[in-house]
Amino acid sequence: MNWCFRRSVHLPLGVHLNLSKHGMGISAGIRGARLGRDARGRRYTAFSIPGTGLYARHYTQQPVVQRHHYIALIVLGAFVILFSLVGR
């Protein structure tokens, strides 16, 4: 049995910060229709029937090249932080 964790923090203008065991995501929209990015960086569109618990989430495909650029930026940022700490 897998345990899941999900919590949503509501911000003004229909923006939600979505917290899960994988990290933090963000979404925006109106009740029943939202656009967002999950904790793993995947973009999605979500539709629901309010009050029923029924919803559908569609992930948009991203070219593999973009994901590699995202990983490269994270690695580059880690090196910049590391070298700035070593230089002190």
Q: Residue 56: inside a domain, yes or no?
A: yes
Q: Which domain holds residue 14?
A: 6-86
Q: How many CB atoms lie within 10 A of CB 59?
A: 12
Q: For the segment 41-86, what is each residue's pLDDT rounded down to a tens digit?
A: 889 999 999 889 898 999 987 655 556 666 777 777 777 777 777 7
Long-range pairs for 69-74 at CB < 8 Å and ≥24 separation?
Answer: 70/41
Q: How many domains does the chain divide into?
A: 1
Total-model pTM: 0.60
Q: Residue 81: inside a domain, yes or no?
A: yes
Q: Residue 16: inside a domain, yes or no?
A: yes
Give the single-character DSSP code of 31. Answer: T
Q: Residue 1: inside a domain, yes or no?
A: no
Q: Residue 64: inside a domain, yes or no?
A: yes
